[in-house]
A and B are shown apart, each in its own frame.
Chain A
Amino acid sequence: MSLSSTDIARIASLARLRLAPDESQRMLGQINGFFELVEQMRSVDTSGVEPLAHPVAAVEDITLRLADDVVSEPNNREANQRSAPAVENGLFLVPKVIE
């Protein structure tokens, strides 16, 4: 399997990344180089094997905890917005979305 430059453009768009043409070209070669490594993994017979997400679930039941449905966080809006690029009246500003 080999990706094409069209694939790279499609993936970049999905990932919200803009790639300069030379960057795109270099990435194509490098990603195809990586997927050569992956071919061997694809051919492993995994029938009947359950996917493993939390690694310790390999030996014991791990259930993801649920938080109680109560207010637990104080209002830290000012501190939380201190590193935001653009804020006004406690709101995050983004470029105009609706014309």
Chain B
Amino acid sequence: MSTGPVSTHSEMTAPIHEMGVAALAGALRGGRLSAVEAARHQLDRMRQHQALGAFVAVDEDLTLAQARAADARIAAGDAAPLAGVPIAHKDIFVTAGLPTSAGSRILAGYRSPFDATVVRRLAEAGAVTLGKLSCDEFAMGSANENVAVPALGFDHAVPARNPWQTDRIPGGSSGGSAVAVAARLAAAATGTDTGGSIRQPASFCGVTGIKPTYGRASRYGMVAFASSLDQAGPMARSAEDCALLLSAMCGPDPDRDSTSLDRPAEDFSLRLADSLEGLRIGVPREFLGDGVAPGVRAAVEAALSEYEKLGARRVEITLPLTQLSIPVYYILAAAEASSNLSRFDGVKFGHRASNYADPSSRKSALEQMYESTREEGFGDEVKRRIMIGTYVLSHGYYDAYYLQAQKVRRMIANDFQQAFKHCDLIAGPAAPTVAWKLGAHGDDPVADYLADIFTLPASLAGLPGMSVPAGFDDGMPVGLQLIGDYCAEARLLNAAHRFQEATDWHLRKPAGF
């Protein structure tokens, strides 16, 4: 049993939930705070704000056991970088200790026999898990409205709510992660980004999030949506905090993830303070066109001016296929999803329909069981994407849709390489607007798809991207998106950190939290 350091938290000025990852790690290592105290405080706070719908699974005993173990590690002099820091995981990462639903009825109550690599790496770095966070079903959504499992404190599925204005969506699919960080329910959270699912909710909730280069973080144990796009990354309240988490999360996983990059783990905190003197920031003209809300454009322009004050130089560039990234992405992601989700058949795990036999059907009992299970288990958006994916992969349509999309994908990636001849990183809005009202897109999935336009290009190219708080429009946060060349995460975090030293957008917090 841990004896843990004696709490002297009352000597500190900031409440525990106002402390970021770096501050918490320092206080924990310095014996000014115990991991158990930090965990208890955050668990209480999570219950107090459960109306936000951010959490979907919690196990206080498990969390406190992890916290006691962290206190013991610290007492024993083990300087794990995140020892005792309470974080939470998007419910798309499988966890042995907590159920994993991926937001879907078809996985309700599912318990994984193992931890995702990212979860394991963060645990090895000492982080304590507060629970699992709400997300769109199988990460398919831009609003966190496609959730099919109940949030903590609810007996029915609810979308997570944006703490800045609770009648607005938090963005998605890592909506619960963004809400938890913005509302100070956790110092940081994991997210995943397939077409913008870290950057867009980070933007909408006023937090900092980074998606690394495709292949940097292992996909092992991330419930698969679109395998050639899915990437894990951290969401936190500063670039400095994201760097700490990302350093723990990334690294090769050759035995478990066939597309894991053969690049050693890296300390992304080392270059945070580098000068931005002479940095060339490319601004794609397609990212500031008519479709961008005036308030968003103004915030991005102001951020670019701030960068010029920091010594950076603005360069006009073009990414001419930006508009096409929407159909290309939604073809490829749907195709990969239809294949990945074929494993949900009511046999090996998850839900199985109880009444499926229709004597009038020509289909076998097994086929009827598959169909009824999938009908009951999947939500509307997931079914739509499975349908689109199945169609574009079917005989006679594969070349015209799937293969054509993969070719345009290469053209989009090549355009980025052209652009990086003229600039060191790329900046623009993370999304054309701020967060919209719950239900505003109604029954029009294409309206959600169109709103992903600025995050999709970097996803298709597999480039690292992040969103950094950069102002407000209509009282709602605006995120500045930064896109780097392959494996340039350190440079992105450096640019974000210097911006956050010069501005206080990332320190603003929603009223009442």
List chain A positions with a Cβ less than 8 A from chain B.
3, 7-8, 11-12, 14-20, 23, 26-27, 30-31, 33-34, 37-38, 40-42, 44, 46, 49-56, 58-59, 62, 64-65, 67, 72, 76, 79-80, 82-86, 92, 94-97
Contacts and interface: CB of A to CB of B under 8 A. Distances in A.
B372 interface: yes
Interface of B: 109-113, 213-215, 228-229, 254-255, 258-259, 261, 321, 323-324, 326-328, 330-331, 338, 342, 345-352, 356-357, 364-372, 374-375, 378, 380, 383-384, 386-388, 390-391, 394, 400-401, 403-411, 413-414, 417, 443-446, 449, 460-463, 486
B486 A51 contact: no
A19 to B, nearest CB: 7
B410 A41 contact: no
Contacts of A79: 113
Contacts of B461: 55, 58
Nearest 5 Cβ contacts at the A-B interface: A55-B462, A51-B406, A85-B352, A79-B113, A58-B413
Residue among A23, A33, A82, A95 with most chain B CB within 10 A: A95
Contacts of B378: 17
Contact of B113 (A27, A46, A65, A76): A76
A15 B404 contact: no
A26 B406 contact: no
A84 B349 contact: yes
Nearest to B216: A56
A53 B406 contact: yes
Given A37-B446, A54-B259, A55-B413, A30 B384 contact: yes
A84 B384 CA distance: 26
Contacts of B383: 17, 19, 23, 27
Contacts of A30: 384, 443-446
A54 B214 contact: yes
15 contacts: A16-B345, A16-B367, A16-B374, A33-B444, A37-B326, A41-B327, A41-B405, A42-B400, A46-B408, A51-B403, A54-B228, A58-B413, A84-B349, A85-B346, A85-B351
B411 A14 contact: no
A40 B365 contact: no
B394 A11 contact: yes
Given A17-B383, A31-B384, A55-B462, 13 more contacts: A11-B390, A30-B445, A31-B391, A34-B330, A41-B327, A41-B331, A49-B411, A51-B403, A51-B406, A54-B462, A85-B346, A94-B347, A95-B356
Given A16-B367, A17-B387, A85-B350, A52 B445 contact: no
B453 to A, nearest CB: 11
A15 B330 contact: no
A18 B214 contact: no
A16 B259 contact: no
Contact of B338 (A15, A19, A55): A15
Contacts of B404: 41-42, 44, 46
Contacts of B375: 17-20
A18 B369 CA distance: 10
Contact of B446 (A26, A33, A67, A95): A33
A31 B384 CA distance: 7
A53 B95 CA distance: 29
A43 to B, nearest CB: 10
Contact of B388 (A26, A34, A56): A34
B403 A56 contact: no
B231 to A, nearest CB: 10
B371 A41 contact: no
Contacts of B228: 53-55
Contacts of B417: 58-59
A21 B418 CA distance: 49
